[in-house]
């Protein structure tokens, strides 16, 4: 199907704005209660929903909670099954590391271990980013013949490592057990192809432990999500779009880069994304705008804080409408109900506003209202197709 | 799935009536307005909808507006992706030209060109059909060694040409630029396979220009939609149906012929389709009835005229019910909102009425009401499966 749609796409200057509140979908805390979105006072979103087409979307499949990368890939129209993205790649792309095909990246946690070699804190006391930067400098001394090793800070206790060399592969298992009180695992090949990389990773850990020995609480490293760069066709090639991302968090910038978006740097917060949008508005026609904290508060299990984050986004809607996007989609990449403190598989509400729509006339923007929308439940990957169609970028199929 | 369904189909005499209002789906002109169908006074259709199962259907995919041929193929249960039909074939089949495998057909417009060879009118002043018939006679003098050339009138300024001979292919580009003030293009091969046919087409144009030289305003021809006959299994073979079409417009008769329907000729208007149906009722069990002008008025952007066409159809519903069809589906092949003056990708409302249904009890027949129906949004190709099932033509699957 993809190729049929792609063959029908034409270029024009009409603007598509995709506003993603991370983990937007929620749950009521009690059977007769309201979800976070239903609880939030969202006059702007409610007004939008009334004149929009609405529905719910499923990023992966019924019953499957998506990670952030596949959730976003689906929103950008890429079937996550066809484009598996390892955590290491997301981390590396997120900080703008120029990965090349054949490179293998892994997420690195600085951690604390005791004299017996058991991990006592998987986050090294949540050291600040400045400390992380210094520790990455220390690890520059790691020297593995035939392999170029790059260690880069991400945020707080999180870093990433990229191995570059001949014959590397991401068929290597995590060293992070996700537990404390036990030693980390050795990196092991998960297939014949991963043997060399597992040895490289083991050598890296050995040298790192020596270098970090006296740097308590960051005297250990944990590796996970070994990953190679997947080949993903860019949104420019695939949709003839000029796409740009305004996002604060590195991981979302990483996914955006993977699909060929121009990524605006140094945005400290949601407010800063608005002038950034204004600045790039003329030269692009697809804008991905991301708000992280709806997800964070959901993961914290803080229902009211998630409600407050949604209300924060509602307040900026008028500023976004002032840009006069031809198509505007408001949605999430998955559900993160405060009740579950985790990503969940529940369908995600969306609204799509454009000149030529058949408004569902819903009472407001919420999970149950969107469930009454004419679109019902659609695969997430279909949303971009609607956005392209409603911005007049898709030709008629057949005579 | 197709082959599973087909293996379960049995023959019986129960009648299925598929009433298609072309381009039925619409849009409100303002966000709080009603669509054409919602605006139309349709007491008969509303009464049907109340006791029917309802929903919306998507002929090709989310965001893709279908042409007429693929829209109808989908209604007949054929996935349009698997059966691409070029415009030339639709035209040739529409006028009952007996195309054979290997033939290549193209749409022909009579047009006007100036002394410099630029096209000044792509429709030759919309000459009447009688004139078109005479011009086709003139073009019988075209003589291309080794190729049998048939030129046939379609309607007004529109004709079609069929080339028959060895080694022909439809890999040839249009000569029609769809613009005036420029000369037509040469027909070019779009692959190695199309080389011979492109030369044949070029020779055809050269001879045609000489023959038409003094016949202003029809002193030029434009060719588009080079197409070979696709192999499409007939509805008889596939569904064990005895299908018939009552349609006024040639293109729809063409598509009906492609799927093996008996096509009733010389029907001047909607009213004439009723006695025609009566006449063939006994000997068939699938009836495709087509009304064109809902689409035409939508393409004209004439909201009220489209409303009036829908109301015209509503008035004949009692006559159709008098035939006592066992299953009746009322729908469109795509949306043609007056607001957009074009085919659009918006889902198309449908109702299916039969003895054994679970009525949705909707307030009337309209896009938003159908959106509330239990079927939600279904691929268009599924409708025929429901029609077969509700007329007791599908055996149980498995023990």
Q: What pLDDT, on the 0 to 100 scale, is given for residue A230?
A: 86
Q: pLDDT-based confidence at B338, cuts 50/70/90?
A: very high
CB pairs under 8 A between A and B: 98
Cβ–Cβ gap B368/A374 under 8 Å: yes
Reported confidence tier of residue A16, pLDDT bands at 50, 70, 90:
very high
Q: What pLDDT sits at residue A261?
A: 97
- Residue A90's pLDDT is 87
Record: contact B371-A361, CB cut-off 8 A: no
Residue B270 C-beta-side C-alpha neighbours within 13 Å? 20
Q: Is the pLDDT of residue B333 over 50?
A: yes
**pLDDT score recorded for residue B284:** 98
- Tens of pLDDT along B13-24? 999 999 999 999
Range of weakest confidence among A23-27, A213-217, A270-274, B1-5: B1-5
Lowest-pLDDT choice from A90-94, B202-206, B373-377: A90-94
Q: In this predicted model, which residue has the larger pLDDT, A345 or B179?
A: A345
A391: which residues sit within 8 A by CB, 6+ positions away?
Answer: A12, A14, A15, A16, A285, A326, A327, A354
What was the pLDDT predicted at B231?
Answer: 84
ipTM, 2 dp? 0.85
- What per-residue confidence (pLDDT) applies to A4? 84
Q: Which percentage of chain B shows pLDDT scores above 70?
A: 99
Q: Is the dihedral of CA B178, B181, B186, B189 positive or negative?
A: negative
Q: Is A116 on the interface with B (CB under 8 A)?
A: no
pLDDT at A2: 65
The partner residue sitting opposite B64, judged by closest CB among A8, A374, A390, is A8
Q: Which residues of A touch B344 (CB under 8 A)?
A: 356, 389
Q: How far is A203 from A225, CA to CA, in rounded Å?
A: 17
Say which range, B91-105, B258-272, B358-372, has the weakest mean pLDDT: B91-105
Q: Which of A374, A381, A394, A395 to mutate to test the interface with B (most CBs of B within 10 A)?
A: A374
Choice among A32-41, B35-44, B248-257 with the minimum mean pLDDT = B248-257
pLDDT exceeds 70 at position B1: no
pLDDT confidence band for B278 (50 / 70 / 90): very high
Higher pLDDT among residues A186 and B86, named by residue: A186
pLDDT tens track for A146-178: 999 999 999 899 999 999 999 999 999 999 999
Looking at every residue in chain B, the average pLDDT score rounds to: 95
List chain A residues with CB under 8 Å of B28: 358-359
Torsion of CA B267, B270, B276, B278, to 10 degrees: 180
State the best of B25, B35, B299, B345 to mutate against chain A, taking most chain A CBs within 10 Å. Answer: B345
| pLDDT confidence of residue B90 | 85
Contact yes or no for B305/B36 (Cβ under 8 A):
no
pLDDT of amino acid A98? 85
Scanning A313-372 for CB atoms below 8 A from B yields 356-361, 372
Alpha-carbon distance A325 to nearest alpha carbon in chain B (angstroms): 16
Residue A3 has pLDDT above 90, yes or no: no
Q: Over range A45-52, report the average pLDDT.
A: 97
Using pLDDT thresholds of 50, 70 and 90, give the confidence band for residue B94: confident
User: Residue B64 — very low, low, confident or very high, per pLDDT cuts 50/70/90?
Assistant: very high
What is the mean pLDDT of the segment spanning A266-280?
Answer: 95
* A397·B80 Cβ contact <8 A: yes
Q: Do A356 and B339 touch (CB under 8 A)?
A: yes
To the nearest whole Å, the CA of A86 is away from the closest chain B CA by 29
* DSSP tag of B2: H
If you average pLDDT over residues B84-106, what whole number do you get?
A: 88
Mean pLDDT confidence for A125-130: 94
What part of A 379-398 touches B (C-beta under 8 Å)?
382, 385-390, 394-398
A62 in contact with B, Cβ within 8 Å: no
pLDDT tens for residues B30-53? 999 999 999 999 999 999 999 999
pLDDT for B2 equals 67
Q: Is the confidence at residue A260, as pLDDT, over 50?
A: yes
Average pLDDT over residues A208-231: 95
User: Which whole number is the average pLDDT over B124-149?
Assistant: 95
* pTM score, whole prediction: 0.87
- Average pLDDT value for residue range A259-263: 95
Residue A1 pLDDT level (bands cut at 50, 70, 90): very low
Contacts of A369 in chain B (CB under 8 A): none
- pLDDT tens readout for residues A59-82: 999 999 999 899 999 999 999 999
3-state secondary structure chain A: CHHHHHHHECCCCCCEEEEEECCEECCCCCCCCCCHHHHCCCHHHHHHHHCCEEEEEECCCCCCCCCHHHHHHHHCCCCCCCCCCCHHHHHHHHCCCCCCCCCEEEEEEEEEECCCCCEEECCCCCCCHHHHHHHHHHHHHCCECCEEEEEEEEECCEEEEEEECCCCCCCECCCCCCCCCCCCCCCCECCHHHHHHHHHHHHHHHHHHHHHCCCCCCCEEEEEEEEECCCCCCHHHHHCCCEEEECCCHHHHHHHHHCCCEECCCCCCHHHHHHHHHHHCCCCCEEEEEECHHHHHHHHCCHHHHHHHHHHHHHHHHHHHCCCCCEEEEECCCECCCCCCCCECCCEEEEEEECCCCCCCCCCCCHHHHHCCCCCEEECCHHHHHHHHHCCCECCECC
């Amino acid at each position: 199907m993809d190729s049929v749609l792609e063959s029908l796409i034409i270029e024009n200057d009409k603007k598509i704005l995709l506003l993603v509140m991370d983990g937007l979908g929620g749950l009521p805390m009690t059977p007769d209660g309201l979800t976070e979105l239903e609880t939030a006072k969202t006059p702007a979103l409610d007004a939008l929903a009334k004149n929009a087409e609405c529905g719910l979307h499923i990023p992966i499949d019924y019953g499957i909670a998506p990670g952030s990368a596949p959730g976003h890939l689906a929103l950008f129209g890429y079937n996550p099954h066809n484009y598996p993205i390892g955590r290491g790649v997301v981390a590396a792309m997120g900080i703008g590391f120029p990965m090349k095909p054949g490179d293998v990246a892994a997420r690195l946690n600085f951690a604390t271990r005791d004299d017996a070699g058991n991990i006592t804190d998987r986050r090294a006391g949540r050291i600040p980013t400045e400390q992380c930067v210094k520790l990455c400098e220390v690890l520059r001394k790691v020297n593995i013949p035939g392999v170029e090793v790059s260690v880069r800070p991400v945020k707080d206790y999180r870093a990433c490592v990229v191995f570059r060399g001949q014959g590397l592969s991401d068929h290597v298992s995590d060293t992070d057990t996700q537990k404390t009180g036990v030693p980390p695992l050795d990196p092991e090949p998960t297939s014949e192809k991963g043997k060399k990389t597992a040895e490289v990773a083991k050598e890296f850990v050995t040298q790192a432990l020596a270098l970090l020995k006296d740097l308590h609480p960051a005297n250990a490293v944990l590796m996970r999500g070994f990953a190679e760069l997947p080949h993903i066709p860019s949104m420019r090639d695939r949709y003839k779009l000029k796409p740009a991302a305004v996002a604060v968090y590195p991981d979302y910038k990483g996914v955006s880069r993977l699909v060929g978006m121009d990524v605006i740097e140094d945005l400290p917060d949601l407010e800063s994304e608005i002038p950034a949008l204004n600045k790039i508005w003329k030269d692009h026609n697809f804008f991905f705008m991301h708000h992280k904290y709806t997800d964070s508060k959901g993961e914290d299990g803080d229902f009211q804080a998630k409600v407050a984050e949604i209300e924060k986004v509602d307040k900026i809607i008028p500023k976004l409408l002032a840009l006069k996007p031809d198509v505007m989609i408001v949605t999430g990449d998955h559900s993160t109900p405060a009740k579950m403190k985790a990503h969940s598989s529940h369908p995600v509400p969306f609204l799509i506003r454009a000149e030529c729509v058949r408004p569902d006339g819903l009472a407001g923007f919420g999970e149950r209202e969107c469930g009454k929308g004419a679109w019902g439940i659609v695969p997430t990957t279909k949303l971009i197709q609607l956005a392209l169609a409603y911005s007049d970028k898709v030709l008629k199929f057949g005579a």
